[in-house]
Amino acid sequence: MARILITSAIPYINGIKHLGNLVGSQLPADLFARYQRGRGNEVMFLCATDEHGTPAELAAAKAGQPVAEYCTGMHEVQADIARRFGLSFDHFGRSSSPQNHALTQHFAGRLADAGLIREVAEKQVYSNADGRFLPDRYIEGTCPNCGYDRARGDQCENCTKQLDPTDLIDPRSAISGSTDLEVRETKHLYLRQSALKDRLDAWIDSKSDWPVLTTSIAKKWLHDGDGLQDRGITRDLDWGIPVKRGDRDWPGMEGKVFYVWFDAPIEYIACAAEWAEAHGRPDADWQRWWRTDKGAEDVRYVQFMGKDNVPFHTLSFPATIIGSGEPWKLVDHLKSFNYLNYDGGQFSTSQGRGVFMDQALEILPADYWRWWLLSNCPESSDAEFTWENFQQGVNKDLADVLGNFVSRITKFCRSKFGEEVPAGAYGEKEQALIADLTTRIRAYERHMEAMEVRKSAQELRAIWVAGNEYLQSAAPWSTFKTDPDRAAAQVRLGLNLVRLYAVLSMPFIPDAGARMLAAMGSDDDSWPDDVAAALSTLSPGHAFAVPDVLFAKITDDQREDWQGRFAGTRA
């Protein structure tokens, strides 16, 4: 039994995430976690809310709540939506946890002791009206590149150009709207990533199985321009983890907090410690996942994230771990994704454009979304969500192929043999199907192990199609008229296919998989290592029930209504 540690990029606390966020990390991570559990492996699947930094403070201010209160409430909202989407986290933690406070301060102390942190005096924008330094995202103005009048001090959302606050035309405070700004000197701590460049470069070179998207982004940051730069790890903010050197104060850093991109990845580790506390487990139980001197040497660690997060997870977080000099587990495989765009443009949280996770669940069950998003996953390039493609994918794949097969075979059996599996020996046609399915299931397993999400979905659909083609060719409704025993064997195979499809489909569509298993009166969700044996699991006389419609088709009227509703009206 393998041990597999899985983390997906932790979402910002500032509101409910859209479908592009979901398919860029959490959903494919859940697919992999469910598959590995189904194969009998020990899995630890961790995620959390990213609660520090400018987005949290701005969102709390907009909501009129203290930031700690806002984060607590939004964590509960995000956790609830994750559960309803079937995301099977072993723990969904919080980067504001005491465990992350302690670990972040611990890592900072270790890095300082190793000479990998330096103090830098720098110029930052200060708002006289707000009485504070303004982080980049707290400054708004007009983009000098495209003229967009709500560009942030770090990036223009409209044209995506990277900016410095001083680049903005007519800059103003995002807190008060004040234009009474000036540039002042402040001191911050920087992680000396440049000192670890060669070690990081060699480590990335050793990952020959990583996606090209992942390694190309990492290499660009390592070698383009002046190469890997040192990075600030502190900010002048009120909300965050206080800057300490382990459990000691850090002279000159009073009133400052660690930068969110320093503490957020450390939450992956802290999340396991939170899991242990929540379940009354000793520290050894979480350390066996994260410390190679405590049992993690045989753990395979896999991360899932969108391409915008790759630099921090291939360079900054590994620099933190390597620089600490301690035996923490480094990632073995980093699966990165391109962007999912929305109906001719981009998803936009600020403009309310696109479908957000809570809205998606209001109109359709989670499995509809899970299947379409995963089968159209933006792996090799950006992908686009359109309502036409969504309707077509649901109707053709889920309703016409899988749902239709389950409905036809169960209803036919009930009409001719009652609600129990009939007897009958498999013939040449059944053996040929078993051989074909064995080949396909082994291919499905290879794609899943390689985290090739689209190819996995294509192979699973082909497995469903094979059952439909068999049923159409065997035509038990015709066979029954002349050879009831032969028809009984065909139906027996068809009912066993329903159970097999339930098991194979569970990583993609867990609710439908569970309903199919329940309809077959089976709790046997064992993986089909032997396909012939799997297709004899339901023995003659075994009772089953005809399930309700697994997937309803999306009508043209529904599609048109939703397309108008989600064009950009979310508050």
pLDDT at residue 571 is higher than 70: no
Contact between residue 304 and residue 28 where contact means Cβ atoms under 8 Å apart: yes
Structural tokens at position 246: 């382990």
CATH number for the domain spanning 157: value is 2.170.220.10
| Residue found under tokens 């409910």 | 16
Is the Cα torsion angle 94, 27, 307, 318 positive or negative in sign? positive
pLDDT of 52 > 70? The answer is: yes
535 or 236, greater pLDDT: 535
**Distance (Å) of CA 108 to CA 4, 121, 223, 273, 321:** 27, 19, 26, 18, 10
| Average pLDDT for the chain | 95
> Which secondary structure element, helix H or strand E, spans residue 463, and what is its range?
helix 453-474
Is 348's pLDDT higher than 70?
yes
Beta strand 42-49 with 91-94 is: parallel
Please report whether residue 144 resides in a domain. Answer: yes
Domain annotation covers residue 237: no
Residue where a domain stops, chosen among 304, 337, 370: 337
Which DSSP category does 398 fall into? Answer: I
| Alpha-carbon distance values, 177 to 139, 283, 362, 554 (Å) | 9, 47, 36, 45
Structure tokens at 274: 């939170």
pLDDT tens digits, one per residue of 469-492: 999 999 999 999 999 999 999 999
Q: Which residue, among 303, 302, 299, has the nearest Cα to 287 in the 3D structure?
A: 299
Q: Which of 350, 336, 354, 343 is CA-nearest to residue 383? A: 343
Domain identity same for 86 and 145 = no
Locate 320 and state its tokens: 């933190």
Alpha helix ranges (H) inside 279-400: 283-290, 310-311, 317-324, 357-363, 366-375, 387-393
Q: Which amino acid is at 524?
A: D
Residues 10 and 134 in one domain: no
How far, in Å, are 25, 389, 479 from residue 339 at the CA level? Answer: 11, 17, 50
The reply to whether 126 and 45 lie within a common domain is: no
Residue pair 329/291 in contact (Cβ under 8 Å)? The answer is yes
Asked if 31 and 130 sit in the same domain, the reply is no
Tell whether 122 and 177 lie within a shared domain: yes
pLDDT band of residue 569 (cuts 50, 70, 90) is low
Predicted confidence band of residue 344 (pLDDT cuts 50, 70, 90): confident
Helix (H) or strand (E) holding 461: helix 453-474
**Cα–Cα distance for residue pair 274/41, rounded to 1 Å:** 22
Please tell me the least confidently modeled range out of 38-47, 225-234, 411-420, 504-513: 225-234
Phi, psi of 457 (to 5 degrees): -65, -40
What is the average per-residue pLDDT within 283-303? 97
Judge if 320 and 409 occupy the same domain: no
Residue with the bigger pLDDT between 138 and 449: it is: 449
Question: Which 3 state secondary structure label does DSSP give 142?
Answer: strand
Please report whether residue 567 resides in a domain: no
Residue-wise pLDDT tens digits, 364-420 = 999 999 999 999 999 999 999 999 999 999 999 999 999 999 999 999 999 999 999
CA distance linking residue 211 with residue 217, whole number of Å: 10
* Percent over 70 (pLDDT), the chain: 99
- Identify the weakest region by mean pLDDT among 66-70, 83-87, 149-153, 516-520: 149-153
CATH of the domain at 445: 1.10.730.10
Shared domain for 162 and 215, answered yes or no, is no
- Tens of pLDDT, residues 86-138: 999 999 999 999 999 999 999 999 999 999 999 999 888 999 998 888 888 78
Q: Two tokens at 410? A: 């169960």
Choosing from 191, 211, 245, the residue where a domain stops is: 191
CA distances from 126 to 139, 165, 468 (A): 10, 11, 67
Tokens of 486: 């032969």
Residue 104 and residue 48 share a domain: yes
pLDDT of 486: 97
Residue 172 belongs to domain spanning: 117-191
Q: Which of 196-205, 216-225, 424-433, 487-496 has the lowest mean pLDDT?
A: 216-225
The pLDDT tens digits of the residues spanning 246-261 come to: 999 999 999 999 999 9
- Co-location of 432 and 514 in the same domain: yes
Residues 6 or more apart whose CB falls under 8 angstroms from that of 326 comprise 110, 291
146 is in an annotated binding site: yes
Question: What pairs with residue 328 in β-bridges?
Answer: 291
> Which pair of structure tokens corresponds to residue 151?
């560009």
Q: How far apart are CA 215 and CA 213, in angstroms?
A: 6
Query: Does residue 303 form part of some domain?
Result: yes
pTM beyond 0.85: yes
Please report the pLDDT score of residue 21 as a whole number: 94
> Residue 204's Cα: distance from chain center in Å?
22
**pLDDT on residue 439:** 98
Q: Is residue 526 part of a domain?
A: yes
pLDDT at residue number 164: 82
Do 140 and 281 lie in a common domain? no
From 168, 191, 214, the end of a domain falls on 191
| Torsion sign across C-alpha atoms 89, 308, 35, 457 | positive
Q: How many residues does the chain have?
A: 571
> Does residue 349 have a known ligand-binding role?
yes
pLDDT for 524 beyond 80:
yes
In the predicted model, is pLDDT for residue 570 greater than 70? no
71 known ligand binder: no
134 and 218 assigned to the same domain: no
| pLDDT for the residue 347 | 86
Does any domain span residue 52? yes
**Closest among 258, 337, 316, 255 to 26, alpha carbons compared:** 337
Judge whether 553 lies within some domain: no
Q: Give residue 180's identity as a one-letter amino acid code.
A: D
Shared domain for 28 and 135, answered yes or no, is: no
Question: Is residue 153 in some structural domain?
Answer: yes
Q: What's 5-62 look like in SS3?
A: EEEECCCECCCCCEHHHHHCCHHHHHHHHHHHHHCCCEEEEEEEEECCCHHHHHHHHH
pLDDT at res. 224: 87
Distance between CA atoms of residues 265 and 267, nearest Å: 5
CATH of the domain at 272: 3.40.50.620
Number of domains the chain is built from: 3
Residue pair 56/67 in contact (Cβ under 8 Å)? The answer is yes
d(CA 305, CA 22): 10
> What is the reported pLDDT for 135?
81
